Structure 1
């Protein structure tokens, strides 16, 4: 992948990560209102969010290598 493609992929991952954050919050809020929290769905969303975070970190590390001067 080119650097430009990696940057586009990084932005898409960040957007998906934010969307998952909002979905998890909405699910939690709905659970507080109804008294029922779909823990399995919430767990799946959190797991996906963690995978995205790892992918984001990997791309950022590749694009911005840690240079020790």
Structure 2
């Protein structure tokens, strides 16, 4: 059960970063470094989500 809760938390964080990224991209004063940071954090979360999903199925 704890794994599912962790996975749900990570997915919520990933979704929140997706919204943050869209917001940043729609601002004319968007900072490239900030956008890159959001993308990096999103990718890290995605990798962790996939790693957890892989461990569940194996």
Equivalent-residue separation in structure 2 for 1:59 and 1:52 (angstroms): 11
What TM-score does the superposition give when structure 1 sets the normalisation length?
0.80
Whether 1:23 aligns to 2:20 is: yes
Specify the structure having the higher radius of gyration (Cα). Answer: 1
Please list every run of 5 or more consecutive structure 2 residues that lacks an aligned counterpart in the other structure: none
1:7-50: CA deviation from partner (whole Å, max 9, x where unpaired): 1000000000000000000001112xxxx221101100100000
Q: How many corresponding residue pairs? A: 58
Equivalent-residue separation in structure 1 for 2:8 and 2:57 (angstroms): 15
Equivalent-residue separation in structure 1 for 2:18 and 2:55 (angstroms): 25
Structure 1 residue ranges, 4+ long, deviating more than 4 angstroms after superposition: none
Say what the alpha-carbon RMSD is for the aligned residues: 0.8
